[in-house]
Structure formats: C-alpha cells, structure tokens
C-alpha cells in the first residue's frame, strides 16, 4: 500500500549552510519523533534528554514551534547532524496536513542520510510538486495560486516576481470569480424561466441582459487575453535578435545593451560568424539577446553556415532589431533583409549617428514603405541613444503601460486558451439572445462558459491537467 506521508529535500542540491527536508502527512510527526532527539538548552549542562535512544513523545511537539536537537540513526544511535526542526500541525500548514521541516547542514551526504532514515520509517519520496498539489487538493489554494508557485521559483526579474506573488494572493482568482458570478446569475435567471415560466417575467429578449454580459463578462475576459499577449514576457522572457548586413554595428549594439564586451568587435566585415547570446533585463523584462552573422550573399562556406543559423534564429524571435548604417546609403542587402522580415515585430535602428551629427546631409533616406517601423537613432560606439532604444523595446514588448505586474494577469497559455474558449461560448450566448433562441440552448452555452472558467481555477480539473501542471515543479515543492 502506498504511504500517505511524503518527504523530500526542499532545497537545491549541493554544499551550503542550511538544507531543508520536508515531511507531510499523517505520520510526519511520529516519523520525526523517531529520528529526532531534542536538546534542552540552558538547563543542567545543555544535555540531551535522559534516554537519548528513546523516540520523542509526539505530545511534546507543539505546533508552529522550532526545536533544537540532533537527528540520529534509530538503529545504531549515531548522531547524523545537529538540526533545528519546525513542527506545523494540520490544518495550519502549507499542505493543510501535519508538516515537519528539518533544517540541517546542507551537503549531499548529510541530506541524503537524513532523508534515508525518514524513508526507513515509512514515508515515501514526494513526486515533483506534490506538496503544492496537496495544498491545492486540500483546499488551501486554488489552481491559479498553485501555478503561481512555480512562477515565483522561476522568476528572473523583480517584475516577474511581483506578477507571480500577485497571483499567489489570488488576484486572478478574484477576477475569474467575478466573471463566473455574472454568468451564474444569468444561468439562475434562465433556469428559473425554464422551470417556472408562469411565475418569472420574460428576461432574455431584453438588450439590457446582453449589454450586461458584454460589460461584466466579455470585456473582462478580453482584457485578460490582451494582457497575456502584451505581458506574458514578464514570465516567459523576450527573445530579442539583432539583424543586419555585415559591419553595421550589431556586435557593438549588443555590447551596449548587455553592458559588457560580450561580442567581438572588429572593423573587418563578417567578424561574427556564429550566434552570440546573453541575458539581460530591461524594466523588469527578462531578455535573451542574440547577435547574428551579417546577412548577405557570400560564397564563404563558414559565413554561409553562420547566416543559415542566423535565419533560423530570427524565425523564433519575439522582437527584431534591424540595424542599418545611418551614414548609408541603403544597399541591396538592406532592402532584401527588410523584405524578408518586414512582417515581424521589428525596430529599425540607425547606427553610427556620430558620423552624421555634424553633417545631416549624410544621413540615409528611409524608404516610405519603412515608415511604419519604430525607428531609433543611436551611436553604439559612443553609447548614445541606448536609453531611447530600451524604451522602445519595452513599448514593443508590453505596450505603453510598462510593468503591470500589480494587476491581475494570466501567466500561461493554458489560461489564455481557456479564456478564449469561454469567450467563444459567451459569443454563442449573445447570438442566442439576439436570435431569440430557446432558453434551453442558451443555458447550455452559459454552462459551457462557466466550465471553462472552472478549468482555470481548478474547480473540476482533469487528472491530465493536474499531472501536467505539477510535473513542472521541482521535487520538494
């Protein structure tokens, strides 16, 4: 029979000052009592309990207290480590079960030995995300809050962390519940009209009902979906690729943005022949930036490989910095690059501004068909215009509002797809109202919309969805 009590190392592997082992389940405290020997500090000679081999009495442990002592091998009585042990009794714990956390000296051998003794007493190794999964199944958090836990762990910037903690506090759940409440109220009225047609006034053909649905249901859903499209980069990051012909300053621009000599800069065209990647953040947005080989026609087999890799990388970009020589003129390579990637999210960067500042007549003339692209003039050599370029990057990534981490936002594609399906069902409801369809058919569409919202917060999720979500967690969380 599978053990109900689980245990795992909750801190990253490796040597360190403190490592934490977590136990959760009905036998968490008895198991801990079997391997833990309390020391009494400040009394007669700071010594362990009289019978150091005897298990601790479970009644000794008060909830939400920290105990000092040793972890011992129950078989040999050998001390494994000096520890602090926290006891949290159900339901006031992370999982709503009895939970024990052992704070030991971190190290592969030490942590492994302690965990082994815990497993010997009947616990089993926790599956990835099982502690958080139990918190969800026991009603402590909803599914959106559970998913936010992994976002907190993986947050790469302050804005990403702020967005995740906002979700943990239940902001997304609150918005979803408001939308669901409006749909539920409508469903109650519809079903009342179906069951008691003589006692309930006709409510569905009125424009007021449709207007209320658009305002309290459709509009909030559309706002959430739009917010995902503009702000999921706080969670997922932005793939930023620099493109252009050889010797226009792509590598110099990358060095300016990452603020270090990441790419080799040389006057010889074609210096960069492979992808050069690095990470940075701009206004809380985590960015992976890629410097690519200059795009042009060449017979050099090594350059051809670099250009092929560059073109493949560009296809996966969220945002492209198309850099040209401000002192021009534009060449056939420039026009070819534009024609090939004009449909992408692009910023036109006019580099070498320092060459044209004193003689504006040298500045290239931008073709009229390029006017729809945001354009920034910079000098990568003298690091001029970089702040302005960063502002445009943020605008293209998240819009004019910048960091909106304090608002409810949908953090992943699962939520977005569920909301899109809900919005589609609401559209059928509105069509049904305008066409005076039977109330029974409209009720079916309302129930469908509610079911999609339930799927987001986890009211009735499938086992497959739960497995997919919690499998992305680390063991011990």
pLDDT tens digits, residue range 317-351?
Answer: 999 999 999 887 899 999 999 999 988 999 999 99
Three-class SS of residue 176?
helix
Number of H helices, E strands in the chain: 16, 13
Contact 23, 6 (CB under 8 A): yes
pLDDT confidence tier of residue 51, bands split at 50, 70 and 90: very low
Parallel, antiparallel, or unpaired: how do β-strands 346-351 and 375-377 relate? parallel
Share of the chain above pLDDT 90, in %: 42
Question: Mean per-residue pLDDT for 376-382?
Answer: 91
First-to-final CA distance of the chain: 24
Contact 417, 231 (CB under 8 A): no
H or E, element range at 321: strand 319-325
Q: What is the pLDDT of residue 29?
A: 95
Q: d(Cα 460, Cα 258) in Å, to the nearest integer?
A: 46
425, two tokens: 């069902």
H or E, element range at 362: none
| Model confidence at 187: pLDDT above 80 | yes
| Model confidence at 401: pLDDT above 70 | no
Q: What is 235-398's CATH superfamily?
A: P-loop containing nucleotide triphosphate hydrolases (3.40.50.300)
Residue 164: phi, psi to the nearest 5? Answer: -65, -45
Q: d(Cα 103, Cα 312) in Å, to the nearest integer?
A: 48
Lowest pLDDT segment from 99-103, 195-199, 394-398, 453-457: 195-199
CB burial of residue 321 (10 Å; 0-12, 13-18, 19+): buried
Model confidence, pTM:
0.65
**Most confident of the following: 23-37, 57-71, 259-273, 401-415:** 23-37
| Model confidence at 143: pLDDT above 70 | yes
| Model confidence at 57: pLDDT above 70 | no
The residue with greater pLDDT, 275 or 270, is 275
Q: What is the pLDDT of residue 144?
A: 81
H or E, element range at 476: none
Single out the residue of 247, 304, 297 nearest to residue 274, CA to CA: 304
**Most confident of the following: 73-87, 127-141, 430-444, 452-466:** 73-87
One of 2.40.40.20, 3.40.1010.10, 3.90.1150.10, 3.30.1360.120 is the CATH number of 6-126, namely: 3.30.1360.120
Question: Mean per-residue pLDDT for 26-45?
Answer: 83
Q: d(Cα 24, Cα 6) in Å, to the nearest integer?
A: 5
Cβ neighbours for 339, distance < 8 A, ≥ 6 positions apart: none
pLDDT in tens, 85-130: 999 999 999 999 999 999 999 989 999 999 999 999 999 999 988 9
Contact 36, 80 (CB under 8 A): no
Contact 81, 73 (CB under 8 A): no
CATH class in words for 149-231+409-470: mainly alpha
| Model confidence at 403: pLDDT above 50 | no
Neighbours of 241 (CB within 10 A): 25
pLDDT in tens, 346-376: 999 999 888 887 777 777 888 988 888 999 9
Q: What is the pLDDT of residue 447?
A: 94
344, two tokens: 């992408």
Residue ranges per structural domain of the chain: 6-126, 149-231+409-470, 235-398
Three-class SS of residue 109?
helix
Q: What is the pLDDT of residue 59?
A: 61
| Model confidence at 464: pLDDT above 80 | no
Q: Is the dihedral of CA 28, 31, 34, 39 positive or negative?
A: negative
Q: What is the pLDDT of residue 158?
A: 77
| Model confidence at 263: pLDDT above 90 | no
The residue with greater pLDDT, 101 or 224, is 101
- Mean pLDDT computed over every residue of the chain: 84
């Amino acid at each position: 029979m599978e053990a109900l009590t689980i245990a795992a190392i909750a801190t990253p592997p490796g040597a360190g000052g403190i490592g934490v082992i977590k136990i959760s389940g009905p036998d968490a405290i008895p198991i801990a009592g079997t391997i833990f020997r309390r020391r009494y500090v400040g009394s007669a000679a700071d010594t362990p309990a009289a019978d150091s081999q005897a298990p601790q009495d479970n009644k000794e442990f008060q909830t939400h207290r920290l105990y000092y002592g040793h972890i011992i091998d129950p078989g040999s009585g050998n001390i494994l480590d000096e520890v602090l042990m926290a006891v949290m009794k159900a339901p006031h714990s992370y999982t709503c079960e009895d939970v024990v956390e052992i704070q030991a000296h971190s190290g592969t051998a030490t942590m492994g030995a302690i965990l082994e003794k815990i497993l010997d007493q009947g616990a089993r190794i926790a599956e990835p995300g099982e502690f958080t999964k139990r918190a969800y199944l026991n009603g402590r958090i909803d599914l959106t809050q559970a998913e936010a836990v992994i976002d907190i762990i993986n947050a790469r910037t302050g804005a990403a962390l702020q967005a995740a903690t906002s979700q943990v506090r239940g902001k997304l759940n609150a918005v979803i519940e408001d939308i669901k409440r409006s749909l539920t109220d409508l469903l109650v009225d519809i079903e009342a009209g179906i069951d008691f047609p003589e006692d309930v006034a006709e409510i569905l053909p009125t424009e007021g009902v449709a207007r209320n649905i658009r305002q309290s249901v459709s509009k909030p859903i559309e706002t959430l979906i739009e917010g995902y499209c503009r702000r999921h980069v706080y969670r997922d990051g932005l793939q930023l690729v620099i493109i252009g012909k050889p010797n226009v300053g792509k590598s110099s621009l990358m060095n300016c943005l990452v603020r270090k000599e990441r790419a080799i800069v040389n006057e010889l065209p074609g210096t960069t022949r492979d992808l050069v990647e690095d990470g940075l953040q701009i206004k809380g947005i985590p960015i992976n930036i890629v410097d690519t080989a200059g795009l042009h026609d060449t017979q050099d087999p090594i350059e051809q490989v670099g250009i092929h890799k560059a073109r493949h990388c560009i296809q996966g970009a969220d945002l492209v910095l198309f850099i040209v020589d401000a002192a021009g003129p534009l060449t056939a390579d420039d026009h070819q690059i534009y024609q090939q990637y004009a449909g992408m999210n692009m910023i036109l960067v006019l580099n070498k501004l320092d060459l044209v500042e004193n003689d504006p007549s040298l500045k290239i003339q931008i073709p009229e068909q390029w006017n729809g692209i945001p354009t920034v003039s910079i000098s990568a050599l003298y690091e001029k215009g970089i702040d302005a370029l960063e502002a445009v990057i943020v605008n293209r990534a998240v819009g004019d509002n910048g960091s909106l981490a304090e608002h409810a936002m949908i953090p992943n594609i699962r939520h977005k797809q569920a909301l899109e399906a809900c919005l589609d069902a609401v559209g059928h409801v509105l069509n049904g109202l305008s066409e005076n369809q039977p109330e029974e058919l409209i009720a079916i569409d309302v129930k469908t919309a509610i079911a999609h919202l339930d799927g987001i917060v986890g009211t009735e999720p499938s086992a497959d969805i739960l497995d997919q979500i919690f499998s992305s967690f680390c063991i011990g969380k």
